[in-house]
C-alpha cells in the first residue's frame, strides 16, 4: 500500500534500524521501545492484521524471524513476549500486520 509506513520500511523505501530480513519478512526496532529489546516483525507484503488472509508461508517466515531476533538479541533463553495487537479494541495503531518482540527485562502486564 502506497501510504503505509510499514510497507515503506519493510521494502527500504524508508530506512530503519533493521535487526533481521529475508525474502518475506523484515524486523526493525520499534521507535517507542517498551523494553531493552523491542523489535517489530513485519511481512514485506501488506496485510492489515493477522486475520487478513495471511499465507501460512508468511506466518512461518514471521515465526522464524522471531527466533532469529531472539537469538541476535540474546533473549531466546531468558524469555520474551510476542504481541500482535489486532484491531481497534487492541489499540492497533499501524494497520500493517506486525508482531512486537519484547524482552531483555522482566516484563510487566500491559506492555505493547
Under rule CB under 6 A, residue 82 binds ligand DGP:
no
> CA dist 108 to 34, 39, 40, 72, Å?
10, 17, 19, 23
CA 60 to CA 38: how far, in whole Å?
20
Instruction: Say if residues 25 and 62 touch (Cβ distance below 8 Å).
Output: yes
Q: Is 98 a catalytic residue?
A: yes
H/E stretch holding 107 reads: none
For ligand DGP, which is the closer residue by CB, 34 or 58?
Answer: 34
Given 38, 96, 98, 100, the catalytic residue: 98
Take residue 60 and report the three cell numbers written for it.
512461518
Q: Site mask, ligand DGP, residues 42-81, x = CB under 6 A?
A: ----------------------------------------
**Which residue among 45, 50, 94, 107 contacts ligand DGP (CB under 6 A)?**
94
Catalytic amino acids? 98
> Which residues in this chain contact ligand DGP in the complex, by CB under 6 A?
5, 16, 28-32, 40, 85, 91-94
Amino acid at each position: 500500500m502506497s501510504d503505509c509506513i510499514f510497507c515503506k520500511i519493510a521494502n527500504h523505501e524508508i530506512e530503519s534500524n533493521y535487526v533481521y530480513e529475508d525474502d518475506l519478512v523484515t524486523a526493525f526496532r520499534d521507535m517507542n521501545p517498551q523494553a531493552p529489546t523491542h523489535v517489530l516483525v513485519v511481512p514485506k507484503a501488506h496485510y492489515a492484521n493477522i486475520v487478513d488472509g495471511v499465507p501460512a508461508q508468511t506466518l512461518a517466515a514471521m515465526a522464524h524471524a522471531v527466533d532469529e531476533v531472539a537469538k541476535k538479541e540474546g533473549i531466546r533463553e531468558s524469555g520474551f513476549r510476542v504481541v500482535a495487537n489486532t484491531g481497534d479494541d487492541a489499540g492497533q495503531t499501524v494497520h500493517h500486520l506486525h508482531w512486537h518482540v519484547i524482552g531483555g527485562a522482566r516484563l510487566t502486564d500491559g506492555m505493547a
